[in-house]
Amino acid sequence: MDRPTKQARIDAFRRLCRDQGLPLTEQRMTVLEVVLDLDNHPTADQVHEAVARRDPGVSRATVYRALESLARIGVITKACHPGKAVRYDLSLIHISEPTRLKTRSRMPSSA
């Protein structure tokens, strides 16, 4: 990913965190930067290895929690296949667009 695109994604992530009231932690930022840098649909262990090169004291659990929180808000996607390791990738949704939860109201049937 080129530098301007990466910076735009990071800036959009900061806005998204602010808008959703999610704390912008150093760990989340580092994990996001690693996923942006890796282009091979990494597993959580691969992300942890790359994060640990930047921050040797980071725990595997911290990276897993950061990945889960990024997936929960739609910044990255989580691909689960039976019998294979979970993989993470950039979300197909452009994170500079506001994330809105859509709800459907249930209309009582008239029949």
Identify the DSSP state of 83: T
Give me the pLDDT at residue 46, please.
96
Work out the number of other CB atoms within 10 angstroms of the CB of residue 100.
Answer: 6
pLDDT at 93 over 70: no
**Span 73-82, average pLDDT:** 89
What is the C-alpha separation between 68 and 36, in angstroms, rounded?
16
List, in sequence order, every beta strand (DSSP E) within 1-111. 76-79, 87-90
Tell the residue number behind the tokens 């506001």, with chain if given: 98
pLDDT at 96 over 70: no
Arithmetic mean of pLDDT over the chain: 83
* pLDDT tens-digit readout, 27-47: 999 999 999 999 788 999 999
> Which residue type does 7 have?
Q
Tell me the residue length of the chain.
111
How buried is 42 (Cβ within 10 angstroms: 0-12 exposed, 13-18 middle, 19+ buried)?
Answer: buried
Segment of 58-62, 76-80, 97-101 carrying the highest mean pLDDT: 58-62
pLDDT at 72 over 50: yes
